Structure 1
Amino acid sequence: MKLITTIHLGIGFILLMFCIVTLGYVQQTRQVRTDLNDVLLATSTIKLSESAQKNLIDMETGFRGYLLTGEETFLEPYTEGSTGFFLQLAQLDSLTQGLPTQNRMVHEIREKARSWITTFAEPLRLAKAKAPTSQAANAQYDFLFKATAQKAVGKQLMDSMRTKFSVIEQDEEVAKQMRLEELNNSFGRVNYIAIGLTLLAILAGILVSYMIGKSISRRFIRMTALANSIANGNYQVALVDDRKDEISSLTKSLNKMAAKLQESFAHLTKVNKELDQFAYVVSHDLKAPLRAINNLAEWISEDLTEKDPEIIQNLTMMRGRVHRMENLINGILDYSRVGRKELPTTTFSVQDLLKEATENLSPPAGFKITATTPMPVLSTERTLFYQVLANLLSNAFKYHHLQEGNVQVRCTELADFYQFEVEDDGPGIPQEYHQRVFGMFQTMEARDVKESTGVGLAIVKKIVEEKGGEIWIESEKGQGSIFKFTWPKDKVELRTEKEINEAIA
């Protein structure tokens, strides 16, 4: 499975968990809304029931007042209450459609209310209104009053309706409390489920991220170990990665690169050996005839019977040219070896090395060499650093225009390098020669004036650049010269083969 597919699946799983959280929350919200609606329905039913009973009391009270006084003003509460009562019963009928018991009681109350009006209230009201008109009408009213009112027919109907209203209210109050409790439980479930599912989604996301990250990190650590191994010169370490994803492709590319480097390194080693052998042969084959020429010139000089000054001078010049040629061959060989031969790394004091170089070079008595700043302790190839320092000091003596002078050596610490400076008070170097002097076989003066191969600064430049530093000149004609070069503070520490194998494992 490709890495991007794995990541997409992980993200998809996390999103799925959050979808489940959302769906669970929505479902619980619906339940809460249902419970809330039920509570509101029960509350509305109770309120309508209480309002209907109030109208029922108004009807009864107004009707009794009319019977006692005969004043029709008492009928207003009776009439208004009757109208409002039946409207509220219609609303109760609608609210209790899903509650069969309550709805049946509402219908029974409506029937009893109509019966109270048609069989009790209205006949008495009409008889009461006609009673004053005749003796017979009054007798009819008295008879009807004794037959109904005195026998509590109306009261029985009213008590029956009140009882049913009480049952409806009690049932709705019980239902309301149950729904309130269910509502509170629903709120609690919503919180618990939402928190639980959210935590589960977070934990799942963390777990998936950790597993994917750990898998990727472990494989990248192994590839880093392989890269360090390659940088350390061990090209025979390879990784096995059976997963068919993007990292597997990168691993195969690293393995292929290591194999190619191993092949190139083997070829380069072979070429270097052949080059060393060739250099040895060339050096031997060139130096042998030069030594023969030098010996012949010396023998001829010794065998001359007449010491002709011109002949002696020519022979001496020839021997000087032979020595120059030999030095040139040695310089070329030294230049070709820079960077190809592994040298041991040691820790040494630059101050002590400067003292050693000064003693070995044996400058003219009039020259003074001083270190004007503290010198660091380096861990690097001592031989290479000595060669750079000694060459710069030697040039300061050799090319000075006087028999005495001052040479100052300074050091400045930078972030990753030490910057060294070798300053003299010699004739200086014109601007146009600042780059030229670092070229092979380049000299500022004719070789007959100053004996030189023109290779020394080229070797210095190559050594410094091989170490990752830079070298340059700050000088003007007649104002002395400052040779500046940078040298890395520490050699790059690469992993050992044991550390690499442990990382890969």
Structure 2
Amino acid sequence: MSTEEPASGRPIAGLSVQNWVHLILAGFVVVVCGCLVVGGLVLSRISDRTTELVDHIQPARSASFQLQNSLLDQETGVRGYALTGDTTFLEPYEEGMRAERERLARLRSLTGDEQPYAGDVERIERAAQQWRTLRAEPLIAAVRENGPTAATSAPIMRSKADFDSLRALYNAQQSHLDDARDTARAELGDTRTTRDWVLVALVVGFVLAVVSLSLLLHRVVGRPLGALTAASDRVRAGAFTEKIDVRGPSDVRAVSEAAEAMRSRLVAELAESQERETLLAEQT
């Protein structure tokens, strides 16, 4: 705040033109920073939803499909070996067990401890192990010992029934992952819509801020300077008795008061000169 005193002796208070310019520039900086913060938050949310969908949910669904294939390979291999006694059918069974372990580990790394996905993995793993322990391994052992004639339709049907229960657990897992995918897609779509509205709001707000700050600059700086210029021009044109009294920033008022002091002095000196001339004329 300025504390200068003009020729009239009245203190000058308020902001100077430079102060107003700095204030308006600070307003621009605030608007720009606000735009950057809001835009950054929206883009961060979009990035989070996209990362969740691309890096977690979709790979988990793919791993779940591969887990189902590994389980189907095991069931197909056991049934083929039970019916034919051909040991080549045990290759997909053993390969399926190896792939199952890999897919379970992959699913755990993608879903972590989040429910219900972690629970689905645990239930599928227990059910698969139970099916192998109670159905698949005894059936394989019986065929190895007594040949395919030992595998009657009843053990095969019981194995199939237990495996159908395992398939139901897999379907539940896939349903949960599908729901997660749909939710993530919906949130991503909502976030993109929000982004569009935020961008429109930011553009409109920025334009309004620019217009408002321009009007403010004109009002607090441009108008007082224009009034001071007009008053000075009138005095220069001969209107010596018109008082110069301009309101505005402190430095504009300081110039105005200095100009008014100069005008007052000129008017006083002019009046004194005219008085002397009149007195001289009377004496003559």
Task: Give the TM-score taking structure 2 as reference length.
Answer: 0.83
- 1:4 and 2:10 aligned: no
**Aligned match of 1:35 in 36, 46, 49?**
49
- 1:77 and 2:92 aligned: yes
Task: Report percent identity of matched pairs.
Answer: 22
Q: 1:122 is matched with which residue?
A: 137
Q: 1:208 is matched with which residue?
A: 213
CA distance in 1, matches of 2:246, 2:238: 22
CA contact (8 A) 1:226 1:239 kept: yes
CA contact (8 A) 1:93 1:107 kept: no
Post-superposition Cα deviations, 1:198-256, rounded to whole Å, max 9, x if no partner, equal 31122022112112213323212221222122212222222334556111111111112
- Return the offset for 1:120: 1.9
CA distance in 2, matches of 1:247, 1:64: 98
CA contact (8 A) 1:62 1:75 kept: yes
Q: 1:160 is matched with which residue?
A: 165
Matches within 5 A, 1:67-216: 67-131=82-146, 142=150, 145-146=151-152, 149-150=155-156, 152-216=157-221
Q: Which amino acid aligns with 1:167?
A: A
CA contact (8 A) 2:221 2:248 kept: no
Give the superposed CA RMSD: 2.5
CA distance in 1, matches of 2:64, 2:196: 36
CA distance in 2, matches of 1:261, 1:98: 90
SS in 2 for 1:149: helix
- 1:258 and 2:263 aligned: yes
CA distance in 2, matches of 1:103, 1:93: 7
- Return the offset for 1:163: 1.0
SS in 2 for 1:240: coil
CA distance in 2, matches of 1:226, 1:104: 84
**Aligned match of 1:13 in 19, 24, 27?**
27
Q: 1:58 is matched with which residue?
A: 73
- Return the offset for 1:58: 1.2
- 1:23 and 2:45 aligned: no
CA contact (8 A) 2:240 2:263 kept: yes
Q: 1:217 is matched with which residue?
A: 222
Find the structure with the greater CA-based Rg.
1
- Return the offset for 1:83: 0.4
CA distance in 1, matches of 2:120, 2:233: 91
Query: Could you list the runs of 5+ residues in structure 2 that have no partner in the other structure?
Result: 1-13
- 1:227 and 2:232 aligned: yes
CA distance in 1, matches of 2:113, 2:39: 27
Q: Aligned pair count?
A: 267
Distance 1:218 1:243, change over 3 A: closer
SS in 2 for 1:233: coil
- Return the offset for 1:76: 1.3
- Name whichever structure is richer in strand by fraction: 1
CA distance in 1, matches of 2:278, 2:233: 26
Q: Which amino acid aligns with 2:37?
A: L
Distance 1:213 1:16, change over 3 A: same
- Return the offset for 1:55: 1.2
Q: 2:254 is matched with which residue?
A: 249
CA contact (8 A) 2:81 2:89 kept: yes
Q: Which amino acid aligns with 2:96?
A: G
CA distance in 2, matches of 1:34, 1:236: 72
Q: Which amino acid aligns with 1:6?
A: W
CA distance in 2, matches of 1:60, 1:73: 14
CA distance in 1, matches of 2:113, 2:247: 66
CA distance in 2, matches of 1:166, 1:118: 22
Matches within 5 A, 1:426-445: none
- Return the offset for 1:169: 1.4
Task: Give the TM-score taking structure 1 as reference length.
Answer: 0.49
